[in-house]
Amino acid sequence: MRKVRIMRNKQELESIPVLPLKNSVLFPGLVMPLNVGRPGSIAAVDAASLTEGVNNPVLMLDEIDKLGRDFRGDPAAALLEVLDPEQNNSFRDNYLDLAFDLSRVFFITTANGLESIPKPLLDRMEVLRLAGYSTEEKEAIAFRYLIPRQVKEAGLTQDQCVLSNEAVRQIISGYTREAGLRQLEHTIARVARKAALRHAEGSITPIVVGSENLEELLGPKSFSPEQVRTELQPGVAAGLAWTEGGGDVLYVEATLLPDGRGMTLTGQLGEVMKESAMAAQSYVWSHASDFGIKRAVFRKSGLHIHVPAGAIPKDGPSAGITMATALASLYTGLPVRSDTAMTGEITLTGLVLPVGGIKEKVLAAARAGIRRVVLPSANKKDLGELPDSARQQLEFVFADRIEEVLAATIPQMSERGAGGRASSCGSFVDSPAAAAPCS
C-alpha cells in the first residue's frame, strides 16, 4: 500500500497488475484469429498514452514478484526485453506488428520480496527498499488520511464519529500487525461502519471511540505484543527479529539436560538459525576456560534451545549473538540484564557481523519496554533512520566482538573477572553522532 500511494501522489501513472499474467504472450501480444488475438499489455497502455499526447508515461508493473508461468511460456522472459534499456527502443507487439519505442517510458515495479524475482530480471532494475512505518507514523497517517476517508465512506461527518489517540494506538498494537497500513485502514473502516449503524438505529449523539469501548466495537484484541520480562533466569536472553509486520522481540531460552547428548532445537527454527545455534555453542565451548566454565559440562549434559512462539516459523542470522549470550548465561549461571535486547550475527572467531532491519527491530524494542539495545558496530549508520523519539528513549551499545556483547549484557561476568578479552567497549548514546568507536 505504501509503495503505491507514494507513486500515485507524485504523478498520474498507468498500472498493469502482474498477478494474472502467467504466460509469455501477454506482454508482446498474441497473433491468432481475430476472435482470439489481442495486443499485448505494454502496447495497449502505450497506445492509450499516445492518444493523450504523452510519449513518456510512467508505467507501474504492480506485484512483479507474483509473476506466474505455465506451459505457454515465462512472462519474465518477455519482460527482459521491456525493461532492458539496450533493447526496449524497438519493442515489437506481435498482434499489431508494430515497433514501440519504450526508451522514454519510466517503469516502476513493486514487490513484497525479491526472492521469487528471476535474477536476470532483477539485474535490470534498481532496488529501492521502503521500511515499514513506525507507530508514530501510523498514528499520524490515520488521523490525517485514513479516519477522515473511512468516516466519509460510512456516510458520517467528522463530528459524528470521533476516535481518540489512545483508541488508534490500541488498534495499531492490538488489532493489526503489519509494516504498512492496509489492515489498519480496514479496522478503522469497521469502527466507522458500526458507528454509522448506531446512527441509523436512532442515536443522535456523536460516537466517541476510546480505549474503554474499543473492544465493544472490535471484540478482543487479535495480537498480544511481547512484553519485556522483568526477571530473566540464567539461559534466557532477549533478541530482536525482523518480521513482515515490522519487528518483534524474541526470547531465546536454553536449558541443560543432565546425562543428555547433543543439542535439541525447537520453535520452528530455519536452517540459518540452527547454524547460528551451533556456532554459538561451539564458540562458548571453545572459550569455556575464558568464561570460567568447566568443559566437562559440555560432555556430560545435553542442550535444549527453544525460541517462542513455537507456531511461528523463524529464520535468519540475526539471533547469533542472542544465542551465544543465552548459552554463556546458562553455563555460567549468571542472568542476562532484563532491560537489554540484542541483534547480530556471530562467527566462530567471535566477530559480531551486521544485520538488516535495524529500524523495525529497534522500534519493536521500544514498544515492548526495552531500554538498552546491543547492535553490531557496523550498524551504527542505520540509527539515522530512526525517529527522534526512539533514539531518545533507548540506549545503544555497539560491539565488534562477542566478548563486548557479554560484558554489556552479563555484568557479573566482568565483575568476577571472567570473559577473557571482554571489555566495556560501546558507549551508551542517544544518537548516531554521539557514538564513539571501540578502541
Residue with cell 507474483: 66
Q: Is the pLDDT of residue 279 over 80?
A: yes
Cα gap 74→114, rounded to integer Å: 17
Residue 341, pLDDT score:
93
Of residues 359 and 436, the one with the higher pLDDT is 359
Q: Is 329 in a helix, a strand, or coil?
A: helix
Residue with cell 557481523: 353
Lowest-pLDDT range of 17-26, 72-81, 111-120, 242-251 = 17-26
Write down the domain spans for the chain: 2-123, 135-218, 236-434
Residue 310, pLDDT score:
61
Residue 82, pLDDT score:
79
Q: Which band of pLDDT confidence, cut at 50, 70 and 90, is reported for residue 375? A: very high
Q: What is the per-residue pLDDT across 239-261, written as a single tens digit (0 to 9) for each?
A: 998 876 667 888 999 999 888 88
Of 331, 350, 348, 345, nearest to 376 by C-alpha is 345
Mean pLDDT computed over 393-410 = 91
Q: Are the CB atoms for 344 and 399 separated by under 8 Å?
A: yes
Q: Is the pLDDT of residue 306 over 80?
A: yes
Q: Is the pLDDT of residue 30 over 60?
A: no
Of residues 48 and 371, the one with the higher pLDDT is 371
**Sign, CA torsion 306/310/315/321:** negative
Residue 167, pLDDT score:
93
Q: What angle do CA 370, 375, 377 make, to 5 degrees?
A: 150
Mean pLDDT computed over 269-292 = 89
**Sign, CA torsion 171/172/176/181:** positive
Question: Under CATH, what is the fold of the domain 135-218?
Answer: Helicase, Ruva Protein; domain 3 (1.10.8)
Kindly report the length of the chain: 439
Catalytic residues: 318, 361
Highest mean pLDDT among 14-23, 87-96, 263-272, 424-433: 263-272
- Percent of the chain surpassing pLDDT 70: 76
Nearest-Å Rg of the Cα atoms of the chain is 27
Mean pLDDT computed over 398-402 = 93
Q: Which band of pLDDT confidence, cut at 50, 70 and 90, is reported for residue 401? A: very high
Q: Which band of pLDDT confidence, cut at 50, 70 and 90, is reported for residue 223? A: confident
Q: Which band of pLDDT confidence, cut at 50, 70 and 90, is reported for residue 431? A: very low
CATH of 236-434, one of 1.10.357.10, 3.20.20.140, 3.30.1600.10, 3.30.230.10: 3.30.230.10
Q: Are the CB atoms for 378 and 356 separated by under 8 Å?
A: no
Other CB atoms within 10 Å distance of the CB of residue 148: 12
Residue 377, pLDDT score:
93
Mean pLDDT computed over 81-90 = 77
Q: 391 φ, ψ to 5°? A: -65, -35
Of 35, 56, 37, 34, nearest to 45 by C-alpha is 56
Residue 329, pLDDT score:
92
Lowest-pLDDT range of 78-87, 211-220, 417-426 = 417-426
Of residues 268 and 429, the one with the higher pLDDT is 268
- Cα–Cα distance list, 47 to 14, 43, 94, 101, 371 (Å): 12, 6, 14, 11, 57
Of residues 422 and 78, the one with the higher pLDDT is 78
Residue 93, pLDDT score:
63
Q: Is the pLDDT of residue 437 over 70?
A: no
C-alpha cell at 307: 525460541
Query: Each residue of 279-292: b (16+ CB within 10 Å) or e?
Result: bbbebbeebbebbb
Residue 36, pLDDT score:
45
Q: What is the per-residue pLDDT across 135-181, written as a single tens digit (0 to 9) for each?
A: 888 999 999 999 999 999 999 999 999 999 999 999 988 898 777 88
Q: What is the per-residue pLDDT across 46-83, written as a single tens digit (0 to 9) for each?
A: 544 444 556 677 888 888 887 766 555 667 777 777 78
Cα gap 68→20, rounded to integer Å: 7
- Cα–Cα distance list, 260 to 162, 256, 264, 300, 301 (Å): 60, 8, 10, 7, 5
Cα gap 238→228, rounded to integer Å: 9
Q: Which band of pLDDT confidence, cut at 50, 70 and 90, is reported for residue 404? A: very high
Domain 2-123 in CATH 2.60.40? The answer is no
Q: Which band of pLDDT confidence, cut at 50, 70 and 90, is reported for residue 398? A: very high
pTM of the predicted model, to two decimals?
0.67
Other CB atoms within 10 Å distance of the CB of residue 138: 24
Question: For the chain, what is the mean pLDDT?
Answer: 78
Cα gap 418→208, rounded to integer Å: 58
Cα gap 92→31, rounded to integer Å: 12
DSSP secondary structure letter of residue 400: S
Mean pLDDT computed over 329-355 = 91
